[in-house]
Amino acid sequence: MSRMDTAHYKVILAYNGSGFAGFQRQRSARTVQGEFETSLRELGWRGESILAAGRTDAGVHASGQVVSFKLDWAHSSNNLLHALNYYLPQDMAAQSVEEVASDFHPRYDAISRFYRYRCFCQTVRNPLREDFSWRIWPAASIDRMNTAAKSLIGSHDFKAFGRATTDSGVTVREVFSAAWREAGDELQFDIIANAFLYHMVRRIVLVLVRIGQGEKPVHLVTESLESEQMTLTGLAPSKGLFLQEVSYT
């Protein structure tokens, strides 16, 4: 743009979640939204709140979070990318910036979300890896985990694996794919769905890992979906979870 115009911008945002108390702005804690909005104000932004594709938990990382905002900006989208990254803290960075339609909404317009969870099997801790993956022991069988994960695919009520953000929220979600793979000495779980419940991915990962370790039967996933109840409590640590990509039409 050659003159000062208000435009709507979409940003792909990456961040190391270790130093954040989650995505959503909080009064007395450091958050992704809070830091991003603080940096955006350095560029003349006067909005009340940015929009986002989703709210990641404390400690969860992202390579493909999507945020949007309206801004009076007299330069190119590429210049905005570099200006944002000049002000953003070192543990987060804009990966791309593009101008979008005024009615674009990063959450409501999304057709799928892709999360990856990373584990490695080792008897002793590794401080150089454990900010970004979950060390598990004993080792887990990828075949058992993949057999159980197949039951997740399709449209189900995932009440046993998470909760809606409101008391009246619907807990039915559609999972398009869910599978473990080996990546070097890592076990990585990739799951794509139209949307996710609160804590849904971390609960699923915990259940699948316990199945892979032989502590729980393979049919636990199917039984939990059918009964809408989960006998296993707890969550996989947030540090192994990454929001990889949000897709749109």
pLDDT in tens, 154-168: 999 999 999 998 878
pLDDT at 208: 98
pLDDT at 168: 80
The model's pTM: 0.95
Residue 57 catalytic?
A: yes
pLDDT at 3: 44
* DSSP output for 133-149: SEEESS---HHHHHHHH
Q: At what angle do helices 220-227 and 142-149 cross, to 10 degrees?
A: 30
Active-site hit among 57, 103, 167, 190: 57
The CATH fold of domain 110-248: Alpha-Beta Plaits (3.30.70)
What top-level class would CATH report for the domain 5-100? alpha beta
H/E stretch holding 190: strand 186-193
Residues of the chain with pLDDT under 50: 1-3
Q: Which residues of 124-145 are buried (b: 16+ CB within 10 A; e: fewer)?
A: eeeeeeeebbbbbeeebbbebb
**Residue 186 contacts residue 118 (beta carbons within 8 Å):** yes
**What ranges do the domains of the chain cover?**
5-100, 110-248
